[in-house]
Chain A
Amino acid sequence: MCPPEHFGVLYEINPWMHREVTVDPERAREQWGNLKATLEQAGAQVEVLQPAPDLPDLVFTANAGVVNGHQFVPSRFMHPERQGEVPHYVAWFEARGFTIDWLPDYVHHEGAGDALPFGSVLLSGYRFRSDAASHAYLSRLTGAAVRSVELADERLYHLDLTFCPLDERRAMVAPEGWDRYGRRVVEALVPELLVLDSDQTMAFCANSVVVNSTVVMPSCPPEVGRQLEAWGFDIVVCDVDEFLKAGGACRCLTLALDLTLGPQGERLGEPRGRR
């Protein structure tokens, strides 16, 4: 995670951002601290990246890149406004002994915000921020089986606003964020789906963090809570509405570091496309 010292809505790169809306820095710090503490209480260990001036979205570490064991694949951001974050992420991972593997510079991909594992598959979104063309490269770099899902609503501009893996059998999903092919892909992949309706989707319920059997959510409508509890999960709601002003909620503010996607140490060769 990265503390919100320099967080604010300084530009507009998604439909939720409006520059005239000001962020309350005190409240942002409180909400961030609360999220961190909640995650730690649930059993997570949180490591911190130092914030940097002029990089207000550095808080959204979910977009740093894709973590795979000791491998880090940095993001290729769609918008120049966030491209400046990359060296910070790379330096942080390098200092911790990760190997850095790069996607080619002519494709876009925005990290764990657009690529989430389910079983042996890495589900990856595309259209608004990440390119479908990046998926083949991602697959080769990590060894993971990447399945592409086209995002269909520009308000749900990252996959992690529409998909939350819960355990090996279950996931919280917001299918209105996908096209019909994407829906079929997810239906084929996930045995038990918790399908969010429109309101639940726009409340960013899918942008939750799961630590062991605790689901940390930005909000939890009753029906959603009932289903999660029936499945044996505990729910904690963490208010993150200062961050919602930038279009991000709980998950966006975190990046899972203990993730292994594909066989370690194996790169499956270069993708066929030549440029």
Chain B
Amino acid sequence: MATEVVEVEGHIIDSLILAKVLDTIVDAGAEYRMVDVEIGRASTDTSHARIEIQADDEDVLTTLLTELQLHGANRVEDADATLEPADRDGVLPEGFYSTTNLKTQVRIGGHWVDVENPEMDCAIVVGDGNRVTTAPMHRVRAGDLVVVGLDGVRVQPLERPRGANPFEFMASEVSSEKPKELLVGEVAERIRIRKAGGGKILAVCGPAVIHTGAGPDLARLVREGWVDVLFAGNGFATHDIESNVLGTSLGVLLQEGPPVEHGHSNHLRVINEVRRRGSIAAAVADGYLRSGVMYECVQHDVPFVLGGSVRDDGPLPDVYTDVVEAADAMRALVPGVAVALMLASTLHAIATGNLLPAGVETFCVDINQAVVTKLADRGSHQALGIVTDAGLFVGLLADHLCS
């Protein structure tokens, strides 16, 4: 896939030049995206259009560009990016370039340089040695050189998957009426393929994973190496620990079903004991916690980030109570992630979705169609929503992947 941006100016509407340019692009079998169009108001005003063209390969693109030049459409002046220093910590220069999650390049000193860690809703900072990185607002320091305006920045649109896309047969991205066994099998296959390619698997888990009894299956997945990174909140970790130490989750006996007397305080007791020991790892070390997802994470060095929220009890000592720090901790673990499983989580799933670069295959599982739609709709081009009970899903997935 080859892309280029051209611009054309003049009385391009009345002259039908704009129509001609777009028709020419389409006739060549390429695709276009209008990046910017300004239409002159008075009949004497000129109009201006910037058009991004995507062709199958460089040859097609070059031929097309040559023809378009005839009609006055030229490659956008390849200018270097405009850089402005931030004048204060945590405040970006006005007009800062705001990123998408797409693979992005910045032109510096005449050369296109890859942005190292694509992430949406960030600024682009050029550091020493022309290293280019995304930076969320709070991480920018006075004096950092920030890209402003649109010049000298280009993004690579995701290629539409062609051919053997396992989900090709599905018309919609959110499937409440598709055979789950089939879907889970496909998800498992994607995980196997990406892992074999050196990619990491990230699981984002909400407490419902434990409440629905999927804890042991998820623990099995962690133990057998199918989860490389875990993001969750205080609730998930607490109920995972509660269910392994006291057999209940929010006071409900997971094996038998009924709530136990005074069970509503079980989770508090568990949090308290972990706090006494100082960390989840310490609770594992001294034998207080002997099974479960968090246990397996500690035992197998699977890094996890527990992001706090305003409704947390305790919280567990490992939980980041400063959400900005939590996001930074998550950010640090994102590089290398190839598949993200969002399991029965809304808050952490959205937060994670904001951090992931485009191209990470994302599977959003929730019993609530609205949540799944919301997650899958967020502009992640490779997000697939699966409406089902997280417990059943994780169980089936573990059956597929684990020995």
A17–B20 Cα distance when bound, in Å, is 32
Query: A273 touches which one: B43, B69, B77 (CB < 8 A)?
Result: B77
A35 at the interface (CB under 8 A from B): no
Q: Considering the complex, which residues of chain A in the window 109-165 have a beta carbon less than 8 Å from any beta carbon of chain B?
A: 120-121, 126-127, 131-133, 135-136, 139-140, 143-150
Shortest Cβ distance from B71 into A: residue: A132
**Is A272 within 8 A of B48, CB to CB?**
yes
**Is B79 within 8 A of A139, CB to CB?**
no
Residue among A139, A140, A144, A145 facing the most chain B CB atoms (10 A cut-off): A145
With contacts A144-B44, A185-B16 taken as known, whether A273 is within 8 angstroms of B10 at the C-beta atoms is no
B19 at the interface (CB under 8 A from A): yes
B63 at the interface (CB under 8 A from A): no
Q: Which residues of A have CB within 8 Å of B9?
A: 136, 271-273
A274–B77 Cα distance when bound, in Å, is 7
**Is A136 within 8 A of B44, CB to CB?**
no
Q: Looking at chain B's contact residues, is the secondary structure mostly helix, strand, loop, or mixed?
A: loop
Q: Which residues of B have CB within 8 Å of A179?
A: 20
With contacts A139-B46, A272-B9 taken as known, whether A147 is within 8 angstroms of B15 at the C-beta atoms is yes
Q: What is the size category of the interface that chain A forms with chain B?
A: 20 to 34
B11 at the interface (CB under 8 A from A): yes
A92 at the interface (CB under 8 A from B): no
A11 at the interface (CB under 8 A from B): no
A102 at the interface (CB under 8 A from B): no
B17 at the interface (CB under 8 A from A): yes
**Is B15 within 8 A of A148, CB to CB?**
yes
Q: Which residues of B have CB within 8 Å of A231?
A: none
Q: Considering the complex, which residues of chain A in the window 254-275 have a beta carbon less than 8 Å from any beta carbon of chain B?
A: 262-263, 268, 271-275
Shortest Cβ distance from B42 into A: residue: A145
A188–B70 Cα distance when bound, in Å, is 23
Nearest CB of chain B from residue A121's CB, rounded to whole Å: 8
Q: Which residues of B have CB within 8 Å of A140?
A: 46
Nearest CB of chain A from residue B399's CB, rounded to whole Å: 60
**Is B11 within 8 A of A147, CB to CB?**
yes
With contacts A181-B16, A185-B16, A274-B77 taken as known, whether A135 is within 8 angstroms of B70 at the C-beta atoms is no
**Is B74 within 8 A of A273, CB to CB?**
yes
Shortest Cβ distance from A124 into B: residue: B15
**Is A126 within 8 A of B16, CB to CB?**
no
A184 at the interface (CB under 8 A from B): yes
Query: A145 touches which one: B14, B19, B48, B77 (CB < 8 A)?
Result: B14
With contacts A144-B44, A275-B77 taken as known, whether A132 is within 8 angstroms of B11 at the C-beta atoms is no
A184–B19 Cα distance when bound, in Å, is 12
Query: A135 touches which one: B10, B19, B43 (CB < 8 A)?
Result: B10
Query: B72 touches which one: A120, A131, A144 (CB < 8 A)?
Result: A131
**Is A120 within 8 A of B15, CB to CB?**
no
**Is B72 within 8 A of A185, CB to CB?**
no
B318 at the interface (CB under 8 A from A): no
**Is A148 within 8 A of B77, CB to CB?**
no
Residue among B10, B14, B17, B45 facing the most chain A CB atoms (10 A cut-off): B10
B296 at the interface (CB under 8 A from A): no
**Is A273 within 8 A of B20, CB to CB?**
no
Residues of A within 8 A of B (CB): 120-121, 126-127, 131-133, 135-136, 139-140, 143-150, 179, 181-182, 184-185, 188, 262-263, 268, 271-275
Residues of B within 8 A of A (CB): 7, 9-12, 14-17, 19-20, 43-46, 48, 69-72, 74, 77, 79
**Can you list the 4 inter-chain pairs with the closest CB atoms, starting with the nearest?**
A132-B72, A136-B10, A148-B15, A181-B16
